[in-house]
Amino acid sequence: MNESPNPKKLTFRRFENGESMWNWDDLQEKIFTADKSHKCPTYIHRAPPCQAGCPSGHDIRGWLAIARGQDKAPDGRPWQAYAFDRMVEANPFPSVMGRVCPAPCEDGCNRNEVDDFVGINAVEQYVGDWAIDNGLALPKPEAETGKKVAVIGGGPAGLAAAGFLRRKGHAVTLFEAHDRLGGMMRFGIPGYRTPRDRLDAEIDRIIATGIEVRLNTRVGTDVSLETLEADFDAIFWALGAQKGRPLPVPGNDAEGCITGIEFLDAFNQGWVFSTAPRVVVVGGGDTSIDVASVARRLGHITKRAEKDRAGSETMGFEAHDVAGTMAREGVKATLTSLFPMAKMTAAEREREDALREGVDIRDSVMPLEVISEGGRVTGLRMCACDMKGMVPMPREGTEFVIECDMIVSAIGQMGDLAEGLARLDGGRGFIAVDGVYRVKGTEKHFAGGDIVKPHLLTTAIGHGRIASEVIDHFLDGEMPEKRPKIDVHHFRLLEELQQRHLEPEAYDHLQKRGTSEADFAIHNWDDRSSSHVVPHTDLFKGHFSYDPREHRAEIHVEAENVIGNFQERIQGLTEEQAQHEGKRCMSCGLCFECDACVIYCPQTAISRVPKKERAIGRYVETDYAKCVGCHICKDVCPTGFIQMGLGE
């Protein structure tokens, strides 16, 4: 194989020049035994690593197959609409998540072993935006079950659970303490990262399925726990982690020392118009980047016009709109991290943007003490440190002070169970759940999202999806004891065949030898996707040549232009770019119809399924009367779909 034009990203080569797979001493034995075995090709469906690593459980391989044109809608809809339907089976926020998810799916993508990961996030954003621009709706329930479910919290976990429960036909009432839905997507992330028109469209689409919403309602005070238990058949708690963790150092109660959650919540609700001249943000994750970047954009007000004085915010302007009318100076924002720059949990792109926008990032340092004068913050004493696991170890003789007017602690979140909810507290303000998301010690209470364990937005969405399935079984009187090992939305061949009217015939329950010729069985198909992930070593990566990834265009804001700039930075892909990324997907664990096995089978034992009978996952078949078990088909299968199993 020729080397790629990019010397840093070579395509896969099984051997280096001069190497061989053969040991010449036993070559004769290999020649005599290679033409037959007691194993025949079997078609093993396994989960791709992108899907297994997606906290929300996307069928990523499925909608990338739609993008590349392999899987076409049975009813002739545009591919974007078909891909959207596949996406929202697991995640109803493709537009938002395509922008802000740190994409662990891309980290695990097997294409990294060839050249570069598939731009999964970018395709998700493209399809999500297309769906909004073309007014696509979510399906409404086919029938009502008569069951009522209360969902507490209108953030990603609560909205996802509410949408999926409604889709199953249950009556859902959503309780939210704020005056708007969205949770951390709205109140924890600035609008230039999650455009509010996109967020509102995806929330409205969920509510339009028939969900009752009660805003400005705090469960525990406005509505009692006992009332919920009396009025609803099941309750899902998605309260989020509403409290930030204060700095664990002396002096953290000084005026001007706040948490990142407080800062971003106040900003996103339109209460913050400027910030202090010198801000130190302690963290290293995406939240700390958001705090520092927002502080740089807000700037520090030095002069206010009369019309901008207190009270003008009641006119309904967003904070950044009001901030743009004020005379202001730049803020000196310093972000500190315990970890070295390369090991910070914030996404690399976010770190690079923050540096470009003028944020001073100091890594491998730890806070020691908040310094104050007259009760107000004047500085933060720090020192250099080394990490021993997750524990910072201070370096002697490295102490220094960063002078500042505000310190923002962005080191994590805590649960905050309000008055009247104490009996749900599983410790430190969080709710403890079992393996199927039922609140421990209760019968009809379930929970998910940050109130269980703070993590990513997409993780909260996954909790909502899984909990909705559990609650649905619970309401049917069939409470599951455990969940699958790989708990995501899997491709189901029977569903694919049914939508194309190709389902197997009814089984007559008479004992037969072999099923390869039977119409009631799917030809030699084994679904292991709920327990097995296909590794890159099972793929014939030599099939894939160098193919550079499509990059989304980004608007880079320089430090001197950052004040008042709240323009979205990420620009979406074009349709052609999205389709190209779909073609780069290696379809790990499922046939993508390359014909390699048909071409290379020396016995012509493998052939295509007749065209009128084809579907995704049902493209080739094996004549076992011809197969000698030479395993060439397995060797040349690019996706790892063909494995060798016992046969005759």
Query: What CATH number does the domain containing 401 carry?
Result: 3.50.50.60
> 414 or 516: whose pLDDT is higher?
414
| Residue 558 half-sphere exposure toward CB, CA atoms < 13 A | 2
pLDDT at 327 (0 to 100): 42
Domain carrying residue 308:
246-412
Average pLDDT (457-471) is 96
pLDDT at 326 (0 to 100): 33
- Reported in sequence order, the residue ranges of 399-495 that DSSP labels E, i.e. its strands, are 400-403, 406-409, 413-414, 425-427, 430-431, 445-447
pLDDT at 95 over 50: yes
Within a domain: residue 298? yes
pLDDT at 322 over 70: no
Least confident residue range of 263-277, 489-503, 611-625? 263-277
Within a domain: residue 269? yes
Residue 288: its H or E element: helix 286-298
Average pLDDT (8-24) is 57
**568-589 pLDDT, tens digit each:** 888 999 999 999 999 999 999 9
Within a domain: residue 371? yes
Backbone CA torsion sign across 542, 543, 547, 550: negative
Least confident residue range of 260-274, 529-543, 596-610? 260-274
Q: How far apart are CA 4 and CA 388, in angstroms?
A: 40
Within a domain: residue 315? yes
Average pLDDT (495-510) is 87
Question: Among residues of the chain, what percentage have pLDDT more than 90?
Answer: 67
Q: What sections of 8-167 are H helices per DSSP? A: 27-33, 49-52, 60-67, 79-87, 94-100, 104-108, 120-133, 156-167
Within a domain: residue 642? no
Q: How far apart are CA 614 and CA 200, in angstroms?
A: 40
Q: What is the dihedral of CA 461, 143, 474, 47, to 10 degrees?
A: -50
Q: Is 604 exposed, middle or buried (0-12, 13-18, 19+ CB in 10 A)?
A: exposed
**199-252 pLDDT, tens digit each:** 999 999 999 999 999 999 999 999 999 999 999 999 999 999 988 899 999 999
**360-380 pLDDT, tens digit each:** 999 999 999 999 999 999 999
User: For residue 196, what are its two tokens?
Assistant: 């509010």
Within a domain: residue 513? no
pLDDT at 260 over 50: yes
pLDDT at 273 (0 to 100): 58
User: For residue 54, what are its two tokens?
Assistant: 């997606």
pLDDT at 300 (0 to 100): 61
> 162 or 542: whose pLDDT is higher?
162
User: For residue 588, what are its two tokens?
Assistant: 């790990």
For residues 457 and 156, is the Cβ–Cβ distance under 8 A?
A: yes
User: For residue 239, what are its two tokens?
Assistant: 């309260």
Helices 575-584, 120-133: inter-axial angle, 10-degree rounding: 140
> 319 or 106: whose pLDDT is higher?
106
For residues 324 and 314, is the Cβ–Cβ distance under 8 A?
A: no
Q: How far apart are CA 630 and CA 178, in angstroms?
A: 65
pLDDT at 447 (0 to 100): 97
Within a domain: residue 454? no
pLDDT at 21 (0 to 100): 55
Closest CA to 518 of 607, 608, 597, 624: 624
Distances (CA, A) of 407 to 333, 355, 364, 645: 10, 19, 18, 62
Average pLDDT (482-511) is 89
Least confident residue range of 267-271, 331-335, 524-528, 626-630? 267-271
pLDDT at 71 over 80: yes
Mean pLDDT of the chain: 87
pLDDT at 502 over 70: yes
pLDDT class of 5 with cuts at 50, 70, 90: very low
* Helices and strands, counts by H and E, the chain: 20, 25
For residues 255 and 467, is the Cβ–Cβ distance under 8 A?
A: no
How is residue 446 annotated by DSSP?
E
**122-134 pLDDT, tens digit each:** 999 999 999 999 9
| Residue 192 half-sphere exposure toward CB, CA atoms < 13 A | 24
pLDDT at 545 over 60: yes
Within a domain: residue 358? yes
pLDDT class of 562 with cuts at 50, 70, 90: confident
Number of domains in the chain: 1
Average pLDDT (17-37) is 57
| Residue 152 half-sphere exposure toward CB, CA atoms < 13 A | 30
Q: How far apart are CA 624 and CA 634, in angstroms?
A: 15
Q: Is 482 exposed, middle or buried (0-12, 13-18, 19+ CB in 10 A)?
A: exposed
Q: How many residues does the chain have?
A: 648
pLDDT at 515 over 80: no
Least confident residue range of 472-476, 495-499, 560-564? 560-564
Backbone CA torsion sign across 537, 543, 544, 546: positive
> 272 or 563: whose pLDDT is higher?
563
pLDDT class of 19 with cuts at 50, 70, 90: low
